[in-house]
Structure 1
Amino acid sequence: MNTDPATTDPATAESADTPNVLGMQIAHRVMLRDLDRTIGVTMAMADGGVDITRRRVRAVVRYLESMVDSIHHHHRAEDDILWPVIELRAGAHVDLTALTEDHEALVPKLDGLAETVRKFGASPSRRSAAVVAGRLVDVRNTLAEHIAEEERDTLPVIRRYLSVSDWQDVETRIRRGANMSFELPRIAAAVSADELSALKRDAGPVIGVMLFLLTPRYRRMEKAIWG
Structure 2
Amino acid sequence: MHLGVPVSVTTGPGERSRVDMTMMYAVHDAFQRDLDRLTAMAEGGVASGPAVQAGWDRFKRFLHVHHTAEDTHLWPVLRAKAGDPAVLDQMEDEHTRLTALLDAVDAAVASGVPERLALHAGRLAEALGAHCEHEEDLALPLVGELLTEAEWNAFGAEQRKRLGSGGAASFFPWLLDGAEDGTRRKVLGVVPPPVRFLYRAVWRPRYQRAPRWQAPAA
Q: TM-score by structure 1 length?
A: 0.77
Structure-1 residue corresponding to 2:202 = 213
Structure-1 residue corresponding to 2:83 = 92
**1:27 to partner: Cα distance:** 0.8
AA matched with 2:177:
A
Tell me which moved more, 171-180 or 131-140.
171-180
Q: Does 1:160 align with 2:145?
A: yes
Aligned residues of 2:43 and 2:115 also touching (Cα < 8 A): yes
Aligned residues of 1:68 and 1:114 also touching (Cα < 8 A): no
Structure-2 residue corresponding to 1:188 = 176
Mapped to 2, the partners of 1:204 and 1:172 lie a distance apart of 15
Structure 1 spans left out of the alignment, 5+ residues: 47-51, 121-127
AA matched with 1:147:
C
**1:24 to partner: Cα distance:** 0.6
The 3 A distance-change label for structure 1 pair 208 and 76 is same
Aligned residues of 2:12 and 2:21 also touching (Cα < 8 A): no
The equivalences for 1:63-102 within 5 A come to 63-88=55-80, 90-95=81-86, 96-102=88-94
Structure 2 spans left out of the alignment, 5+ residues: 1-8
Aligned residues of 2:173 and 2:207 also touching (Cα < 8 A): yes
The 3 A distance-change label for structure 1 pair 199 and 115 is same
Mapped to 2, the partners of 1:173 and 1:141 lie a distance apart of 27
**1:208 to partner: Cα distance:** 1.9
Q: Does 1:115 align with 2:112?
A: no
Mapped to 2, the partners of 1:144 and 1:223 lie a distance apart of 21
Deviation string, structure 1 residues 35-70 (Cα, Å, up to 9, x no partner): 111111111116xxxxx8xxx721111111211222
The 3 A distance-change label for structure 1 pair 133 and 180 is farther
Aligned residues of 1:43 and 1:130 also touching (Cα < 8 A): yes
**1:210 to partner: Cα distance:** 3.7
Structure-2 residue corresponding to 1:125 = none
Structure-1 residue corresponding to 2:4 = none
Q: Which has the higher helix share?
A: 1
**1:3 to partner: Cα distance:** 6.0
Mapped to 2, the partners of 1:157 and 1:115 lie a distance apart of 36
Mapped to 1, the partners of 2:185 and 2:10 lie a distance apart of 20
AA matched with 2:138:
D
Question: Percent identity, aligned pairs only?
Answer: 22
Question: SS of 1:203's equivalent?
Answer: coil
Question: SS of 1:200's equivalent?
Answer: helix
Aligned residues of 1:106 and 1:142 also touching (Cα < 8 A): yes
The 3 A distance-change label for structure 1 pair 225 and 196 is closer
**1:113 to partner: Cα distance:** 1.0
Structure-2 residue corresponding to 1:123 = none
Mapped to 1, the partners of 2:83 and 2:120 lie a distance apart of 37
Question: SS of 2:20's equivalent?
Answer: coil
